[in-house]
Amino acid sequence: MSLLKRIEKGDKDPSGGKGKGGDKSPPPSGGGRTNRTVGDTGGAPAGKTTQASYADLKTRVQNRLLGEINQDIETQSKDEIRRHIEELFHSILAEEGVMISRQEKKRLFDSIVSDIIGFGPIDPLLRDEAVSEIMVNGPKMIYVERKGLLSRVNLTFDNDTHVLRIIDRIVAPLGRRVDESSPLVDARLPDGSRVNIVIRPIALNGPTITIRKFEVDPLTVNDLIKFGSMTGQIADFLRACVIARLNMVVSGGTGSGKTTLLNVLSSFIPNDERIITVENAAELQLQQDHVVTLESRPSNIEGKGAISIQDLVINCLRMRPERIIVGECRGGEALDMLQAMNTGHDGSLTTLHANAPRDAISRLEVMCLMAGMELPTRAIREQIASAVDVICQQSRLRDGSRKILYITEVQGMEGEMITMSDIFEFQQTSYEAGKIVGSIKPTGIRPKFIEQIEDAGIHLPPSTFGLGKRR
């Protein structure tokens, strides 16, 4: 029987107290039970005691709610659950005779609802559009990123158990697990935000959560132009490269905006092409109709059933792809991706971690070696030189802004070396009031693949490359 029905029937307090269930309204102030307020400690000093009393009230009410909520809560919608919790919440406060302000009551209710059906203290941060990343470093330390800059927020979890409860709510719907035997996991939230979780004994500070938020409406090329990440001229060039089916690699450091740029590049793909995406945790937000999304899977508790990115790249070649988009190359799948680019799957896109275009080539070499095949270095470099046409180097600068620093053409081989040339390069002009001022400009070099772009029916004026007349 629910708490509301027990109160109506005048039953005893479910927690064991007597005489509290017979009347839902607080007793008259002249006698009987005395109304309590948050922070009422019988003459004890206020301050920390008030905060402790509030925490005690929250714990007490939340435990009562958890004991009273119907077992079929999982089959109800969030709105139905919220209404049910609200009914029980007001009844419990009335039964306990707790007097708190309307503002404190709303704060308490929102906090409890977040813990029961949301993601606890980080719920308001997930709703805050200005927050792009959330970092939980144990239960008592939470940082956020706003406009590329980190700051600590005045929010905490109760303890490690509280954080683990929220972690379980994140990973359970995805069929993933995190425990002492498997303390690392990649996951995603229902809105597509990427989540990385590390718990003890690996994380010494306590359970650690890193959430990379994504816009409900993905950023468009016009947004990146407005933010100064690229210019309109660069946007036209990149659009031409994608339509002309050039193979492109987006490289950069962590948090530099690689996935955002990959989303923008993907938006240039014609809507009538079949696109297959391969990701570790699905986060790309493609707007085309004909998109097949593949996601890797970790092993189960028995160490079996793992599906790697490499397995998915190999499999997607049998799915008649016109475009292959690999969210990020991290290991041996790089070799399969290069072979796909070299066997008729032009226009493929991927990202990888690197500090510069030349470093991106070196990383591709290393990742190809990770595939376990004993290939000579020259053979790998020939594969890279033949497969990759363009490298876009993305970076997060010291003022927190994210910009394209280089757009580089991979030209071919000269002896044992892969030859490259920068088509566009970011040039900083000044550093004013904590902001980097500059823009990406052409270097005056006309790329060799310009004929492929023109064959696709696209004409780029010589001024695009900083040339006064065509060569």
Mean of all residue pLDDT scores within the chain: 83
d(CA 86, CA 109): 8
d(CA 41, CA 57): 13
Per the DSSP assignment, residues forming a β-bridge with 335 are none
Residue with tokens 């069929």: 175
d(CA 157, CA 214): 23
Residue 450, class by beta-carbon neighbours within 10 Å (0-12 exposed, 13-18 middle, 19+ buried)? Answer: buried
Query: Cα angle at 245 between 389 and 343, to 5 degrees?
Result: 75
Query: Cα angle at 268 between 335 and 246, to 5 degrees?
Result: 40
For residue 198, report the phi and psi dihedrals to the nearest 5 degrees.
-135, 130
Residues in the chain, total: 471
d(CA 376, CA 92): 72
Domain 221-465 CATH class label: alpha beta
Q: Phi-psi region for residue 368, left (φ > 0), alpha (ψ -120 to 50) or beta?
A: alpha
Reading the block at residue 153, the tokens are 């927020």
Could you read off the pLDDT tens digit of each residue along the chain, which spans 471 residues? 433 333 334 343 434 443 434 444 444 444 444 444 444 444 434 444 355 566 677 677 777 776 666 555 555 666 777 777 777 777 777 777 777 788 887 877 777 777 777 898 998 999 898 999 999 999 999 999 998 889 999 999 989 999 998 999 898 888 788 888 889 988 888 887 889 999 999 999 999 999 988 777 778 999 999 999 999 999 999 999 999 999 999 999 988 999 999 999 999 999 999 999 998 877 788 889 999 999 888 877 777 888 999 999 999 999 999 999 999 999 999 999 999 998 888 999 999 999 999 999 999 999 999 988 888 999 999 999 999 999 999 999 988 899 999 999 999 999 999 999 999 999 999 888 888 989 999 999 999 999 999 999 999 999 999 887 544
Handedness of CA 452, 353, 337, 287 (dihedral sign): negative
For residue 74, the model assigns a pLDDT of: 56
pLDDT tens-digit series, residues 291-334: 999 988 887 777 788 899 999 999 999 999 999 999 999 999 99
Distances (CA, A) of 401 to 257, 392, 422: 10, 16, 22
d(CA 388, CA 408): 10
d(CA 435, CA 452): 38
**pTM, rounded to two decimals:** 0.73
For residue 363, the model assigns a pLDDT of: 95
d(CA 151, CA 317): 44
d(CA 351, CA 308): 17
For residue 88, the model assigns a pLDDT of: 77
Instruction: Tell me which fold the domain 122-212 belongs to.
Output: Beta-Lactamase (3.30.450)
Per the DSSP assignment, residues forming a β-bridge with 413 are 418
For residue 319, the SS3 value is: coil
DSSP line for 368-392: HHTTS----HHHHHHHHHHH--EEE
Domain locations along the chain: 3-117, 122-212, 221-465
To 10 degrees, the CA torsion angle through 354, 356, 359, 363?
30
Q: Which residues contact 160 (CB under 8 A, 6 or more apart)?
A: 138, 139, 200, 206, 207
For residue 352, the model assigns a pLDDT of: 95
